[in-house]
Amino acid sequence: MDTTHAAYESIKVGTLLQTAGGFVIADTLSATPGSRDGRVKPAPFWYDTDGGRHFPNPTDGTLVIGLPGFRVREYGQVPGRMGHVLLNAVPGSPPQGLCPASRNAALTVWSSGKALTGVSCSVCRRMAGLVCAVRR
């Protein structure tokens, strides 16, 4: 996975935000309220799916985000089993998972803005650099 600085306004729900331990999934854009005496100005921030806050760099208004080589708006699931990170689609080929166990599995594709929150395969999460402080 590569990283880059992205303009704060261009980040969307489901974008991978860099943390010290890896990447988390952007969940909600919010703003901190200013103080009543005007000393603290409101500042926008992104909540991630673990409830962490990500504030833009005050000098250039950017955040470090991940540019993955896999799908972030979809995940694959073996019916009745765990969810896997999907590699980018190849026309005419069935969906392929990121981890070796899911490469040739019959995966159903599920889509959402925060699709990577449905990835429960620990090998896929580790390979993608996803971190989650929330116990499942």
The verdict on residue 81 lying in a domain is yes
The verdict on residue 86 lying in a domain is yes
The verdict on residue 33 lying in a domain is no
Task: List the one residue out of 16, 17, 45, 14 whose CA is nearest residue 27.
Answer: 14
Which domain does 74 fall in, by range?
Answer: 70-119
The verdict on residue 93 lying in a domain is yes
The verdict on residue 127 lying in a domain is no
Would you state the structure tokens that stand for residue 14, as one six-digit string? 């489901």
Number of domains the chain contains? 1
The verdict on residue 85 lying in a domain is yes
Phi, psi of 120 (to 5 degrees): -110, -5
pLDDT (tens, 9 = 90+) of the chain, 136 residues, equals: 899 999 988 999 999 999 988 999 999 998 766 555 555 566 788 999 988 999 998 889 899 999 999 999 999 998 878 899 999 999 999 999 999 999 888 999 999 989 999 999 999 999 999 987 655 5
pTM above 0.75, yes or no: yes
The verdict on residue 20 lying in a domain is no
The verdict on residue 32 lying in a domain is no
The DSSP annotation for 56-78 comes to PPTTT-EEEEEE-SEEEEEEEE-
CA distances (Å), origin 83, targets 42, 107, 119: 38, 9, 4
pLDDT at 76: 94
pLDDT at 41: 64
